[in-house]
A and B are shown apart, each in its own frame.
Chain A
Amino acid sequence: GAGVSQSPSNKVTEKGKDVELRCDPISGHTALYWYRQSLGQGLEFLIYFQGNSAPDKSGLPSDRFSAERTGGSVSTLTIQRTQQEDSAVYLCASSLARPSSYGYTFGSGTRLTVV
């Protein structure tokens, strides 16, 4: 598609359940990012994929969080044994390997609510 697509747009889950969030980046964009934004807060970096290189996982808050990117395209962020503090909007962005004058393109996010 023309933009970054994220699904689902909203997810309500019970505490302790696992969730999977999906990001479909712009075709040809080799860099893919996941961010998290809690209510009223700034964006918190989670993980970054660049081509076939090892991902930068330095922002993942705990070992309950993991992400993969298959075939250099679609990415899945998995949160195991969800906690209430995981409630946030999860944003995905993609870019060309080098930032262009068009910056980074974000998806509309997945709003996760853990009850």
Chain B
Amino acid sequence: SQQGEEDPQALSIQEGENATMNCSYKTSINNLQWYRQNSGRGLVHLILIRSNEREKHSGRLRVTLDTSKKSSSLLITASRAADTASYFCVAYSGAGSYQLTFGKGTKLSVIP
């Protein structure tokens, strides 16, 4: 896989607002995955979007993928304090390697 680069590095919003995080990558992909990490422990897989998909929804999460710009965005609507976490994207090339390479993530703080 290749490393996705998340932007911004940190984001602070009020509860109820929407949060948007972006991810950029460099070469062609098979799929792109978003993960959440609470309090520096285990990561939780949130959503996977395939290269032939443009948008995907899961509850309050909306992910878009623009392969022409090699970028993806994660939108969390109506944020809650419990959404406070670090969010990581992984761009998976599928070219015979099953390694996942993580960037430094976006640290989201939702203020009650």
Enumerate chain A interface residues (CB-CB to B < 8 A): 4, 31, 33, 35, 37, 39, 41-43, 45, 48, 50, 56, 89, 91, 93, 95, 97-99, 101-109, 111
Contacts and interface: CB of A to CB of B under 8 A. Distances in A.
17 contacts: A42-B88, A42-B102, A42-B103, A42-B104, A48-B98, A50-B98, A95-B98, A99-B48, A99-B92, A99-B94, A102-B45, A103-B35, A107-B42, A108-B41, A108-B42, A109-B41, A111-B41
Contact of A41 (B44, B98, B100, B104): B104
A99 B32 CA distance: 11
Interface residues of B, number: 21
Contacts, number: 60
Contact of B45 (A43, A45, A103, A111): A103
Interface of B: 31, 33, 35, 40-45, 48, 88, 92, 94, 98-105
A98 to B, nearest CB: 8
Given A99-B98, A102-B45, 5 more contacts: A37-B40, A43-B102, A95-B98, A99-B48, A109-B40
B43 A91 contact: yes
A41 B31 CA distance: 24
A106 B103 contact: no
A105 B45 contact: yes
- In this complex, which of B33, B45, B101, B103 has the most chain A Cβ atoms within 10 angstroms of its Cβ? B45
A95 to B, nearest CB: 7
